[in-house]
Amino acid sequence: MTGLDMVWFTFWTAALAVGIILVPGTALAWLLARKSWPGKALVETVLALPLVMPPVATGLILLKLLGRKGLIGSWLHEWGIEVVFTWKAVVAAMAVMSFPLMVRGARIAFEAVNLRLEGVAATLGASPRRVFFTVTLPLAYRGVLAGAVLSFARALGEFGATILVAGNIPGRTNTLALSIYSDIQLGRDEHATYLLGISVLLAFGAVLASEWLAKRGALSA
């Protein structure tokens, strides 16, 4: 896998991971911002775990779940779907590690929306679903996008969970972060520095876009 192929592989797997978590992350963020229910604190705690646990611990959990004898992996294996040590495992690790940032960004955006505007729409006869899609989401979408872009940046740099559940298989699962690690181990410092530069540029662009969207979202809300 050439350097360009590696960048493309990392880019599209990160994009796919964010695409997978976008809708459920947005829905959960709205629930956390607008509703109260028994066990909400527990959900918030579980959601924060990938941010505070060692990434390799999260990777080990995914390995136990997605392996052939795992709770999810055994069921998928019956359908002929292998996840561990494939590109699917890369996407899974990226999605799990990025999910808390997606929810956090979207939740902040929903909390910034003026409840009076939603109330006015409701008094005019709009259903809760219509209020969400015509008032809440249009006012919060920049913040939601900011969370998605920040999640994308996190996915681009994912290493610890990925190396456990997907391995570092040349041409199959090696992302930019894994390739930098391999180059350092093999003494290819010059190539590692080259990949590091690419990683910094991608992450810088993603974080900059996220900050811009978040500020625009705060102004519009």
List the domains of the chain with CATH numbers: 3-220 (1.10.3720.10)
The helix or strand, by DSSP H or E, that contains position 67, with its residue range, turns out to be none
The helix or strand, by DSSP H or E, that contains position 174, with its residue range, turns out to be none
What average pLDDT does the segment 91-119 reach?
A: 94
* pTM to 2 decimal places: 0.92
Structure tokens at 19: 């695409």
Buried b (16+ CB within 10 A) or exposed e, 129-162: eebbeebbbebbbbbbbbbbbbbbbbbbbbbbbb
Residues 6+ apart with CB under 8 A from 48: 100
Residue 19: the pLDDT is 97
Structure tokens at 215: 């500020």
Q: Are 55 and 97 in contact (CB under 8 A)?
A: yes
The whole-chain average pLDDT of the chain stands at 91
At 89, is the pLDDT very low, low, confident or very high (cuts 50, 70, 90)? Answer: very high
- What are residue 16's phi and psi, to 5 degrees? -65, -40
At 150, is the pLDDT very low, low, confident or very high (cuts 50, 70, 90)? Answer: very high
Residue type, 41: A
Q: Are 98 and 199 in contact (CB under 8 A)?
A: no
The Cα–Cα gap between 197 and 193 comes to: 6
Residues 6+ apart with CB under 8 A from 190: none
At 55, is the pLDDT very low, low, confident or very high (cuts 50, 70, 90)? Answer: very high
The Cα–Cα gap between 192 and 181 comes to: 8
Residue type, 160: G
The Cα–Cα gap between 30 and 124 comes to: 22
Percent of the residues in the chain that have a pLDDT greater than 90, as a whole number: 64
Query: Is pLDDT of 217 > 70?
Result: no
**Residue for token digits 């876009």?**
209
Tens digit of pLDDT for each residue in 32-50? Answer: 999 888 989 999 999 999 9
Q: Which of 60, 46, 178, 56 is nearest to 103 (CA)?
A: 46
Q: How far apart are the two ends of the chain, measured CA to CA in Å?
A: 45
Query: Is pLDDT of 219 > 80?
Result: no
